[in-house]
């Protein structure tokens, strides 16, 4: 994935995280935790893509 694609995926998960965090339902809290985990898993690939892009620029 490119840096931009990773960024867009992270931002989709951030939106899900915010929606779940601001809710009072247990189901939404679980969705927020799931989104946070997904964000965590995308950070390393994003960093690698960012470094590769900077090297090639």
pLDDT in tens, 1-57: 899 999 999 999 999 999 999 999 999 999 999 999 999 999 999 999 999 999 987
Residues 6+ apart with CB under 8 A from 17: 32, 35, 36, 39
Q: What span, in angstroms and rounded, lies between the C-alpha atoms of 5 and 53?
A: 13
The pLDDT of residue 22 is 93
From the list 35, 47, 44, 45, the residue with the least C-alpha distance to 11 is 35
Alpha helices in 1-57 (DSSP H): 3-21, 26-56
Indicate left, alpha or beta for 25 from its phi (over 0: left) and psi (-120 to 50: alpha): beta
Instruction: Look up the pTM and report it.
Output: 0.87
């Amino acid at each position: 994935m490119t840096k931009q694609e990773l960024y867009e995926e992270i931002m989709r998960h951030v939106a899900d995280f915010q929606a779940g965090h601001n809710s009072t339902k247990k189901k939404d809290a679980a969705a927020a935790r799931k989104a946070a985990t997904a964000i965590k898993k995308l950070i390393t690939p994003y960093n690698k893509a960012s470094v590769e892009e900077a090297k090639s620029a």
